[in-house]
Structure 1
Amino acid sequence: MTGRSRFESRSDDVMASSYPEQVTSQGVDNDDSGSETSSIVHNGSVISTVPDRHGFLGGTQYSTDPKQQTVPAIVVLRREQKWLRMLAHWDRVMNANYKKVRERCRKGIPPSVRPRAWLFLCGGKLLLEQSKTLYKELILQEGDARWVDDIRKDLHRQFPFHEMFVDQAGHGQRDLFQVLKAYSILNESVGYCQAQAPVAAFLLMHMPAEEAFWCLVSICDKYLTGYYSQGMETLQIDGEILFGLVKKVSPNVYKHLKKQKIEPILYMTEWFLCVFTRTLPWDTILRVWDMFLCEGVKIVFKVALVLLKFSLGRAGVLKKCPTMYETLEVLRNPPQAIMEEEFLINQVSTLQKNTAFIKEN
């Protein structure tokens, strides 16, 4: 799936179809006159003037609710200290005690060390050290006009309500362009695939452009090898593997999908190619990525299995899906409750323990 693709149909893409160079606004009455925040109208959508804790000004990911601290502050502090010690001796720790690293990733990486931990986990740090000047050299090149044109068309579609990307002339879209262009030059056989854009944008929200670039290289070339190539043969093969796993995890869902002849590629493409960055709530995405960058693509499989099982496997749901249309609609819009951080991560952990057919490291 190179160049243009099905991702253009997403609702946030439509709302962001023509961003100006600067945010133009007009006042909107705020019901709470004592509130420290206010709202503006931006391209027909009402957004906040103050970002939420993840940097969103509006859209489906925006939330004014503070994160509920389920882990005591003293525990978070201890975890931070443990991660800092691991990162200071990374090679030795990974070689001697990978299972401990995996356990700590499954518990959730503390936000204060998450960007650095991700860089180390995926091998981006090593790639950067091996080619210290390469990124700077790549961004100075013009790139293939075909890919450059496609990249420019996609910039405004990536998290358009996030403070980094809301301004067309801002550093967020500029860095995103450079990262994607650099990858298209580095890996000419792949070039640019539209699904790489949300992955790169997600990384840029957490780290500088050069580090995000090397993380993207690692994800595209090692974690999701072949996913972004034209024809998507690897993705189709993994789709069949996923379908076989559904048969073991949720036989009734498997029978339903088989009866309606719904190919896996119809519902799992965006999940796998974008690593759930366009599907799950933000706190859940962060936890999924903590595990994904440690354990690899099998985490993507396990999250997909949870979504399939609890979207379609709930009591009475299959009866409400007499045709392919209703079934795919459910899978495109999973119930919010099953995507919440605590529920989904717990279910993935249950799969970790109970599914011997998904091999553990």
Structure 2
Amino acid sequence: MTGMQEAMEKKYRAANGSSAAGGRAKDRVERVDPYGFERSEDFDYESYEELMSEYLIVLTQRSIKWSKLLKGKSKVQKNVKLKRYVRKGIPNEHRALIWMTASGAQDQLEKNPGYYQSLLGAKHDPKLVDTICTDLNRTFPDNLQFRKTSSPCLQKALFNVLVANGHHNPTVGYCQGMNFIAGYLLIITKDEEKSFWLMDALLSRILPDYYSPAMLGLKTDQEVLGELVKIKIPGVWQTMVDHNVMWTLVVSRWFICLYIDVLPVETVLRIWDCLFYEGSKILFRVALTLINQNQALIQQAQSMPDVCQTFKQIAQGPFVDECHTFMQKIFTEPRSLSRATLTKLRATCRSRIIAEES
């Protein structure tokens, strides 16, 4: 057992000792998850113990298979087998490698030696710096690694990645949501330059126009989700129409934060494994699965506030906590979701939005 599995196993064992020392260890260690996030006051340790006793077995099996597949390689080629492995989850010790390779970020890093440092060394735009600084303390206040008292503190690395990205892509600069994405990347890669190039992969290729001033890509994909729901889950679509609920009202955070602070950390990372490998259609698969799984509950809503509250509810609970089962569901429940279908729907929705805003 290695990396994340070992860390999780230690924390898990420490948290569930029967002795007084075990109880003290639980108070000291288990209140923080393997990624540095503090557990909430109402955290269900009993359910966590049950979940982890099963998931640790899965993690260990996957880690052994990945180690055999990689055999110490620093790069991998995309193929059917690797795609299958990614969908079943990347062990944390291999995540940075696979994300970098699959997304094209590694190629960009190697083609541009010294570029990241040159961005940090250039004169900074004061307005960009002020905007980023305002958000630094708001980034994961419940994570120990982002507190000024921590050593090392990831706030400085977060600032660097966001400033470099703002100068690399001046038409976008910085907008809210980027801080959380960069923060997650730093937690996993522990490397500023890799996090910068992964951000570039997301913003430039995987999610174009999500974070541009007009956010046309984001608006388009929210409307595309609505069209997919209309086709695949018509009862929910009718509920939205009946209560005059716009999709942006209930799913904008899902898309702009890539499910950060919406779903549990481990589930988000499993989604990102597929996002970096397969692209943005994964975001639709997750959304459709959440909606499909809870369609009866959504259809019971009696008003717009009811609908909004229900959409918050459906992102919580055992279904999303059990990330391995959840990820299996996202590839079966929404059924076929071809790239051609998404391309066609995006073109239609994009044209409609441009016409409405002009």
TM-score greater than 0.5 by the shorter chain: yes
What is the aligned partner in structure 2 of residue 117 from structure 1?
Answer: 98
Query: Any conservation in 2 of the 1:119–1:215 contact (CA below 8 Å)?
Result: yes
Shift of 1:300: 0.5
* 154-163 or 334-343: bigger deviation: 334-343
State whether structure 2 residue 67 is matched by structure 1 residue 80. Answer: yes
Distance 1:263 1:60, change over 3 A: farther
Shift of 1:33: 5.3
Structure possessing the higher relative contact order (Cα contacts under 8 Å, 6 or more residues apart): 1
Q: 1:204 aligns with which of 180, 186, 192?
A: 186
Shift of 1:114: 1.3
Q: Distance in 1 between matches of 2:92 and 2:275?
A: 16
What is the aligned partner in structure 2 of residue 180 from structure 1?
Answer: 162
Q: Distance in 2 between matches of 1:224 and 1:344?
A: 23
Distance 1:189 1:89, change over 3 A: closer
Q: Over residues 130-175 of structure 1, what are the superposed CA-to-partner deviations in whole Å (9 max), with x where a residue is unaligned?
A: 1110111111234222221111111111111212102267530000
Distance 1:251 1:360, change over 3 A: closer
Shift of 1:211: 0.6
What is the aligned partner in structure 2 of residue 324 from structure 1?
Answer: 304
Distance 1:306 1:114, change over 3 A: same
Q: 1:249 aligns with which of 221, 228, 232?
A: 232
Query: Any conservation in 1 of the 2:59–2:91 contact (CA below 8 Å)?
Result: no
Query: Any conservation in 2 of the 1:59–1:161 contact (CA below 8 Å)?
Result: no
Shift of 1:80: 2.2
Q: Distance in 2 between matches of 1:147 and 1:111?
A: 32
What is the aligned partner in structure 2 of residue 261 from structure 1?
Answer: 244
Q: Distance in 1 between matches of 2:59 and 2:142?
A: 31
Q: Note the aligned Cα RMSD (angstroms).
A: 2.7
| AA in 1 matched with 2:262 | T
SS for the counterpart of 2:214 is coil
Query: Any conservation in 1 of the 2:236–2:298 contact (CA below 8 Å)?
Result: no
State whether structure 2 residue 58 is matched by structure 1 residue 71. Answer: yes
* 47-56 or 240-249: bigger deviation: 47-56
| AA in 1 matched with 2:94 | V
Distance 1:346 1:318, change over 3 A: same
Distance 1:206 1:63, change over 3 A: farther
Percent identity, aligned pairs only, is 26
Distance 1:329 1:74, change over 3 A: closer
* 53-62 or 117-126: bigger deviation: 53-62
State whether structure 2 residue 136 is matched by structure 1 residue 155. Answer: yes
What is the aligned partner in structure 1 of residue 176 from structure 2?
Answer: 194
Shift of 1:324: 0.6
What is the aligned partner in structure 1 of residue 223 from structure 2?
Answer: 240
What is the aligned partner in structure 2 of residue 306 from structure 1?
Answer: 289
Query: Any conservation in 2 of the 1:156–1:168 contact (CA below 8 Å)?
Result: no
What is the aligned partner in structure 2 of residue 291 from structure 1?
Answer: 274
State the TM-score, normalizing by the size of structure 1.
0.79
Q: Distance in 2 between matches of 1:278 and 1:50?
A: 17
| AA in 1 matched with 2:240 | L
Q: Distance in 2 between matches of 1:200 and 1:111?
A: 17
Query: Any conservation in 2 of the 1:83–1:113 contact (CA below 8 Å)?
Result: no
Shift of 1:49: 9.0
Q: Distance in 2 between matches of 1:241 and 1:360?
A: 10
How many residues align? The count is 313
SS for the counterpart of 2:56 is coil
Query: Any conservation in 2 of the 1:337–1:343 contact (CA below 8 Å)?
Result: no
| AA in 1 matched with 2:203 | C
For structure 1, which runs of at least 5 residues remain unmatched after alignment? Answer: 1-31, 40-46
| AA in 1 matched with 2:198 | C
For structure 2, which runs of at least 5 residues remain unmatched after alignment? Answer: 1-18, 343-358
Q: 2:332 aligns with which of 324, 347, 350?
A: 350
| AA in 2 matched with 1:236 | K
SS for the counterpart of 1:339 is helix
Query: Any conservation in 2 of the 1:224–1:297 contact (CA below 8 Å)?
Result: yes
State the TM-score, normalizing by the size of structure 2.
0.79
